[in-house]
Amino acid sequence: MAYTLAEMRRTLEAGWGPLGGRVADTWRDFNRAHFGGRLRPLPIFLTPSTPYGNRLGWTCCREKVTHIALAAPSQGKVLVADRGVLLHEMIHQLLHETGECIRHAGEPWCREIMRLHRMITGSPIWAARTTVVKVRTADGGRASRRINPPHPDTGEPSLTQAEIARWPYSVGLDFGKL
C-alpha cells in the first residue's frame, strides 16, 4: 500500500515537532514546484549521525531509494541538512522512481541538475557526464583519463565532477534552512 503524504507528515511531526512538519511541507512544495508533483511520498528520517562521515543526506550512494535520511545535530534544534540537501536527495528519488541511474556520474543526474538549475535561476549550466578519454602522456605513452567534456555546440566547459556531485552547494545556490 502506498505511503501517503499525510503519513509522511505525521511521522515527521511525531518525531520532530514543527521542524518535522516543515520538512514534510518543503518536500511537498519542491515536489509540486520542481517535479510536477510526481514523486511518491516516502519515509524521511532525521538522524543524528551519518554512516558516511559528514554527508548531509545519504540517499546518494544507494541503488535503491526507499527513504531519505537527513543529518540532524545530536543536540540543538536546527537541522544540519537544509532545504538544498532535501532537494538534492529528491533528485536521487526521482531517478530511482523513473528507473534511471541515480549516480552523480550518470547522464540522468546531469540532465536533472541542468533542468533544475535553469528552472530555479533562469540561467543555464553545462554538466556533462563523466567520459573516459585516452590521452598521450609525457613519455609518449597513452593513459585513460576521466573528464567531463565541454558542450558539443558551444564549447562551454562542464562543471567538474565534484561540482556536479555537490549541486546545488557547488554553484552557490542557497535554499535556506528547513
Q: Least distance from C-beta 89 to Zn ion, angstroms?
A: 7
- Cis previous bond, 149, omega within 30: no
Nearer to Zn ion, 22 or 62 (CB): 62
What CA–CA distances, in Å, run from 3 to 10, 21, 82? 11, 16, 23
Nearer to Zn ion, 19 or 60 (CB): 60
- Cα gap 136→178, rounded to integer Å: 49
Q: Which residues bind Zn ion (CB under 5 A)?
A: 60
Cell 531517478, residue located = 95
Nearer to Zn ion, 10 or 170 (CB): 170
Q: Least distance from C-beta 87 to Zn ion, angstroms?
A: 11
Q: By beta-carbon distance, which residue lies closest to Zn ion?
A: 60
Burial of residue 86 (number of CB atoms within 10 Å: 0-12, 13-18, 19+): buried
Q: Which residues contact 72 (CB under 8 A, 6 or more apart)?
A: 16, 46, 47, 48, 79, 80, 81
Q: Least distance from C-beta 55 to Zn ion, angstroms?
A: 8
Kindly report the number of other CB atoms within 10 A of residue 75's CB atom. Answer: 6
CB contact at 8 A, 113 and 128: no
Nearer to Zn ion, 46 or 65 (CB): 65
Q: Least distance from C-beta 24 to Zn ion, angstroms?
A: 21
Q: Least distance from C-beta 94 to Zn ion, angstroms?
A: 12
Nearer to Zn ion, 10 or 111 (CB): 111
CB contact at 8 A, 3 and 40: yes
Q: Least distance from C-beta 109 to Zn ion, angstroms?
A: 8
Nearer to Zn ion, 60 or 105 (CB): 60
